[in-house]
Amino acid sequence: MTNLTNNDQLRIALIQTPIQLGDPETNVLHIRSLMEKAVGQTPKPDLLMLPEMWNTGYALEQIQDIADEHGEHSKGWLSAFAKEHHIFIVGGSIAEANGDQITNSMYVFDRQGEEIAKYSKIHLFCLMNEEKYLVPGQELVTFPVNDDFKAGVSICYDIRFPEMARSLALNGAKVLFVPAEWPHPRLHHWRTLLMARAIENQMYVVACNTVGDNGEASFFGHSMIIDPWGGIVAEGGESEEIVTGELSLSLVDEVRSRIPIFQDRRPDLYK
Ligand SMILES: NC(=O)CCC(=O)C(=O)O
């Protein structure tokens, strides 16, 4: 199991950046340069997180040609970066090709560069035509941050489904990581849903959005770190930036003992 620098603190850096539509090479170079900048910060972050579909953006009409075959290229350099800098990476998500099946998939690496989780987005977003080009994932995913702190993952539209975050919390997740490409005019939904998922599940919510305009949609950033009481630890603006903040892992148990919602649930009455 991977240890943290300090057992209770997890310092996070979110790479809030524009994504060049249909240009994986440029995206890798740019994101990598921001990641180098993030690990050069003092104090150094324990975990880096990227946004959704950072390799291709929503270039869905060309996706079959530009998606990463089995995720091999992305996995290779992300794993090497995690190992070199001794840092966790929640790798946002990539368009991944497995034969003619394309998924919107996230990989997570520990400080040794080991892949510790893979999640494929289960709720495809029809307003952006995902369901016409991609196949959905079939399972929920958690991973260990340390011996008694588990994380759950969701991608963008997934946060509109409270059952998902609740299931992850019931499976032991104390933080929810959410990479996104969430555009205007739904900033109000983004902030409110993230806040709700944090408060109702008494968990940290860590969300990394993109910025910029892809010709069809304008992405507003506002990457966020929200604590289990609903307090905003960090929030980005609408331009490129590295958004940083610290989680205090023990705060989750403190909040959960203050208002014991997990004990007070009535699953016998929920359909
Ligand atoms: N990429 C996405 O899943 C976007 C979700 C979104 O914009 C929404 O309003 O939901």
The 10s digit of each residue's pLDDT in 63-83 is: 999 999 999 999 999 999 999
Q: Is residue 1 part of a domain?
A: no
Query: What percent of the chain is predicted at pLDDT more than 90?
Result: 94
The answer, yes or no, to whether residue 203 has pLDDT greater than 70, is: yes
pLDDT digits (tens, 9 = 90+) for 81-135: 999 999 999 999 999 999 999 999 999 999 999 999 999 999 999 999 999 999 9
User: Tens digits of per-residue pLDDT, 205-232?
Assistant: 999 999 999 888 999 999 999 999 999 9
- In 3D space, the residue among 169, 167, 237, 156 whose CA is nearest the CA of residue 198 turns out to be 169
Asked, for residue 37, whether it belongs to a domain, the answer is yes
Give domain status of residue 4, yes or no.
no
In a domain, 267, yes or no: no
- Residue 201, pLDDT above cutoff 60: yes
Kindly state whether residue 230 falls inside one of the protein's structural domains.
yes
Does ligand 1 lie within 6 Å of residue 157's CB atom? yes
Quick: pLDDT tens for 138-183: 999 999 998 889 999 999 999 999 999 999 999 999 999 999 999 9
Q: Specify whether the CB–CB gap between 34 and 82 falls below 8 A.
A: no
Residue of minimum CA distance from atom 5 in ligand 1: 157
Full residue range of the structural domain in which residue 242 is found: 9-258
Q: What is the pLDDT of residues 25-59, one digit of tens each?
A: 999 999 999 999 999 999 999 999 999 999 999 99
Peptide bond before 43: cis, by omega within 30 degrees of 0? yes
pLDDT number for residue 147: 86
Asked whether residue 142 is assigned to any structural domain, the reply reads yes
Cα–Cα distance list, 91 to 62, 101, 163, 216, 270 (Å): 22, 20, 24, 25, 35
Ligand 1 centre and the CA of 20: distance in Å?
A: 18
Ligand 1 centroid, distance to 184 Cα (angstroms)? 10
Confidence band (pLDDT; 50, 70, 90) for 6? low
Ligand 1 probe mutation, 128, 210, 214, 222, most atoms within 8 A of CB:
128
ipTM over 0.90: yes
Catalytic residue annotation: 52, 121, 156
- The CATH number of the domain holding residue 222 is 3.60.110.10
Q: Is the CB of 158 under 6 A from ligand 1?
A: no
Is 3 within the bounds of a domain? Answer: no
- The structural domain count of the chain equals 1
Domain contains 268 = no
